[in-house]
Amino acid sequence: MAPRRGGGGGGGGGISVSSCPGAFKDSAYTNSIPYFVDYVLFFVFDIAILIAIFKTRKNYSNSKKLLGWALILSVLFNIIGYALLIIATVLRECYVGSYESYYSWAVAYGVFFNIANYLLLVVVVLFVNSHLRAPLGGSTTVYKVFYGVVLAFMGLMTAPKLGISAYNSWVSSQTYSSRSVTFIREPYYNFVIAYTVFYLLSILGAGALMLSSISQLKKRGTPTHGLIGWAAFLISSLFVVYVFLLADSAILVSDTFPSRQVYIAFAYVPDFFSAMALVAIICIAKHRSLQNWANQQDQPAPSMYPNPVVYQAGPNGGALYTNNKAAPMAQQQPVYAQMGTVPQQQQQFQYANQTNGQPYYYQQQPQQQHPMYTNGTPVNVNMGSQAPELVQNK
């Protein structure tokens, strides 16, 4: 987050010394050390967050969309902004450069902080909700309309806020060299208040959609233990941040001057809860319920043929089907075979007729061939008793 009250007076008009004997003294012309500690502390914390993002992306494949380009750029721009702010503060405290040069740095780090804040809103509104909607079949039309309207509107408001902020910082750098330029003070403060209110409403709307998605996941039997807690923590953290920013803007408009302790609180509290919001996003990205769903999606659908079936010729010319494993040969399949042809002999046998003395003959008929089923063992081809056909020799 960009510093709200950390800026202050300046140094001694281009004086350059090799040491900083009066650095970080509580005076009207220097920055007290609590502000500088705030800058360094959350600069280091954002670097740790960026490392955690890449580790989570590597270990949890389902988190890559949520922890994608928008969040990475948001954290990276915060790091760059803090780095520029630290450099500018050290140069000013050591009286390196002029009073105006500090605000030249302010133009640069103000741009990075403003873009980072908008990208964080993109992550919360679009990517977190899309991540939660993935197991439910994706975002519905209502969700998509909400994403587009909110982000387009806040993007249009971010552009003039960034521009006016940069202009005021540039005016501060030109105060002593050109008296013709003036600040955009009251309109800017009122615009910042409006921007902060709409930012708060966007966060609350995104939070309502998150809770709705988690409730639907729970109804479908998806274990959501802890998920609703992290979503609530994310929204609560950002709510605290922008409530403090809203109060800070109201103080500027009212021209009141709180104590230094209040100013320090307005520096630490928003920065701390902004960092906690990033932690909550990482925890949502790697939550086990969404990761389990992603693992199930990665598994191939069950096949009717779990192993490939290969046609092979059997040992007796028959067909065998195997799944690339050794086919068991202990139990042989029956093989249809037609046995050899029985000789078609016609033999006549003579019997004496006891009544009239005339001989009777019977003729053996040709044997009808019958197919035999065998499993390869010898088969007795004797078909049993053959019924003779009696004929009378006339």
The pLDDT value given to residue 39:
95
Task: Give the whole-angstrom CA distance, residue 323 versus residue 236.
Answer: 58
* Residue at token pair 């003039």: 160
CA dist 194 → 8, 31, 381 (Å)? 25, 29, 106
Amino acid occupying residue 106: A
Closest C-alpha among 117, 297, 131, 122 to residue 227: 131
Structure tokens at 361: 């003959």
- What residue spans define the domains of the chain? 33-290
Q: What is the pLDDT of residues 173-210, one digit of tens each?
A: 775 555 567 888 888 999 999 999 999 999 999 999 99
Closest C-alpha among 289, 200, 212 to residue 245: 200
The pLDDT value given to residue 134:
84
CA dihedral 66→72→75→81, nearest 10 degrees, is: -150
Low-confidence ranges of the chain (pLDDT < 50): 3, 5-17, 293-295, 297-299, 301, 305, 326-327, 329-330, 332, 334-344, 349, 362, 374, 376-377, 379, 381-394
- Calculate the CA 273 to chain-centre distance: 23
Structure tokens at 360: 């009777």
Model pTM?
0.70
Q: What is the pLDDT of residues 298-352, one digit of tens each?
A: 445 455 545 555 555 555 555 555 555 544 544 545 444 444 444 445 555 455 5
The pLDDT value given to residue 137:
82
Instruction: List residues bridging with 166 in a β-sheet.
Output: none
Closest C-alpha among 89, 103, 105 to residue 267: 89
* Residue at token pair 């967050």: 49
Q: What is the CATH number of domain 33-290?
A: 1.20.1070
- The values of phi and psi at residue 335, to 5°, are -115, 130
